[in-house]
Amino acid sequence: MHPKDWIEITRRGVLCRPGAVYIDPVQPVADAIVTHGHADHARSGHGRVFATPETLAIMRARYGDDHARTECPLAYGETVEIKGVKLSLHPAGHILGSAQARLEYGGFSIVFSGDYKRRPDPTCVPFEPVPCDVFVTEATFALPVFRHPPLDSEIARLLASLRQFPDRCHLIGVYALGKCQRLMMALRAAGYEDTVYLHGAMVRLCELYQDCGLDLGAWEVVTAENAKTLAGKIVLCPPSALQDRWSRKLPDVLTAAASGWMRIRARAKQKGVELPLVVSDHADWDELTATLMDVGAPEVWVTHGRDDALVHYATKVGLKAQALHLLGYEDDSE
């Protein structure tokens, strides 16, 4: 049976009807498959949660041990049956533990990519193309103007600015889960050995990454005592803290942000960013279009983001394509 006959878009999220299980539901449900730990995809209060052990660890760190009634950990490639629907999770390369969800029922298979990228990232297992009948792709950066530059060159710009303005505290807005840790590892790879200072909101997730064996180098939390001494240092905070009272205690702040949106000048400016770093954990246009080819599914459904451009492209290269209008996933959550 074709997935269009057993997959349904509801207010709670995408429902697999025969399995009575939702994928990344935005409201509490009995059975949920969670692709990754970002807050708009992983919410608390579900009955059973099917996810990778890393994603479940992230959910425990964010919401506490009772975030769901029952945890159902699934390793990459492992298969479980839910009321006749076969479910397996496969690496998505987005953040630690991120997965694509493959569902098989009635002789047809569908893969939900969740969020993904194709660039190397030492904090997670690389994306694997999974053959299927229908591929459901994200479209956060699905416009050809989005072509993320190499991470090395963005890190080099940051380090050049630190040399040019050695008295200014370089405060970088980064998503607390994934971007923060990837940026720290990239700084280490570029030879930056100084202590990196963190907003309190980053701490638990950095510890969790370290518990998973990822070396983030020396870091410390910004405190009322050390804040004044951070001229010429790198401080990481959630994007929302950039313009917050919190950042006022830091000396002569140079505001930076690491996100795929920084490619668009007006966006960077709207956020008051002086040093925009184009660093993304989502696929850019070239990666999205290459992925449609690599997966090779004859039919593509496009979810959150700029779906119209990707649907247009997919149709033009001979695929059957349509947009799923999902609500509740934030465009900006990068």
Partner 1 sequence: MRAFSRLLERLYYEPSTLAKERLLLDYFKATPDPDRGYAVAVIAGDLSLPNFKRSMVLELIRARVDPVLLSMSYDYVGELSETVAHLWPGNSEPEAEDLPSLSDVVHALRHTSKADLPAYVTGMLDRMTSPERWAFLKIGMQSLRIGVSARLLKQVLAKFGDKPIDDIETLWHGVDLPYEQLFLWLEGRSERPAVHEALTFTPVMLAHPLDEKDFGLITPEAYAAEWKYDGIRVQVVNSPLGRALFTRTGDDISHTFPDVLAHLNFHAVLDGELIVMRGDKNGTFNDLQQRLGRKAPSSKLIADYPAGIIVYDVLALEGEDVRPQPHAARRALLEAALTHHKPDAMKLSPELAFDSFEALADMRASVVNTPVIEGVMLKRRDSSYVAGRPTGPWYKWKINPKLVDAVLMYAQRGSGKRSSFYSDFTFGLWSGNQILPIGKAYFGFTDAELVELDKWVRHNTIQTFGPVREVKKELVFEVAFDAVHRSTRHKSGYALRFPRINRIRWDKPAQEADHIPALEALIAR
Among 34, 85, 143, 288, interactor with partner 1 by CB under 8 A: 143
80/190 with CB nearer partner 1: 190
Among 7, 57, 87, 268, interactor with partner 1 by CB under 8 A: 268
Element (H, E) at 270: helix 265-270
Q: How far is CA 309 from CA 67, 137, 312, in A?
A: 37, 13, 5
59/262 with CB nearer partner 1: 262
What size, in residues, is the chain?
334
Q: Is 118 a binder of partner 1 (CB under 8 A)?
A: no
Q: Is 282 a binder of partner 1 (CB under 8 A)?
A: no
Among 244, 265, 293, 298, interactor with partner 1 by CB under 8 A: 265
Q: How far is CA 25 from CA 14, 40, 120, 323, in A?
A: 7, 9, 29, 18
- Tell how strand 99-105 and strand 85-91 pair up: antiparallel
Q: Is 266 a binder of partner 1 (CB under 8 A)?
A: yes
Q: Is 318 a binder of partner 1 (CB under 8 A)?
A: no
CA dist 214 and 125 (Å) reads 12
Positions in 290-309 near partner 1 (CB under 8 A): 306, 308-309
110/314 with CB nearer partner 1: 314
Among 36, 41, 263, 282, interactor with partner 1 by CB under 8 A: 263
Q: Is 150 a binder of partner 1 (CB under 8 A)?
A: yes
Min CB(277)–partner 1 separation in Å? 12
Q: Is 273 a binder of partner 1 (CB under 8 A)?
A: yes
Classify residue 17 by its DSSP letter.
Answer: T
Q: Which stretch binds partner 1 (CB under 8 A): 45-53, 55-63, 81-89, 269-277?
A: 269-277
Paired tokens of 146: 């989005």
54/284 with CB nearer partner 1: 284
Q: Is 288 a binder of partner 1 (CB under 8 A)?
A: no
Q: Is 240 a binder of partner 1 (CB under 8 A)?
A: no
Min CB(47)–partner 1 separation in Å? 29
Among 86, 274, 290, 319, interactor with partner 1 by CB under 8 A: 274
95/143 with CB nearer partner 1: 143
CA dist 287 and 23 (Å) reads 23
Among 77, 144, 217, 296, interactor with partner 1 by CB under 8 A: 144
CA dist 284 and 292 (Å) reads 13
* Three-state secondary structure call for residue 15: strand
The distance between the two most distant Cα atoms of the chain, rounded to a whole number of Å, is 64
CA dist 1 and 53 (Å) reads 31
The amino acid at 312: H
- Tell how strand 85-91 and strand 79-82 pair up: antiparallel
* Three-state secondary structure call for residue 122: coil
Q: Is 149 a binder of partner 1 (CB under 8 A)?
A: yes
Positions in 154-183 near partner 1 (CB under 8 A): 156
Element (H, E) at 237: strand 234-237
Q: Is 277 a binder of partner 1 (CB under 8 A)?
A: no
Q: How far is CA 130 from CA 134, 233, 295, in A?
A: 10, 42, 6
Q: How far is CA 185 from CA 122, 155, 191, 272, 287, in A?
A: 8, 11, 10, 26, 22
Q: Site for partner 1 (CB under 8 A): how many residues?
A: 29
| Interacting residues with partner 1 (CB under 8 A) | 143-147, 149-150, 153, 156, 263-270, 272-276, 306, 308-309, 312-313, 316, 327
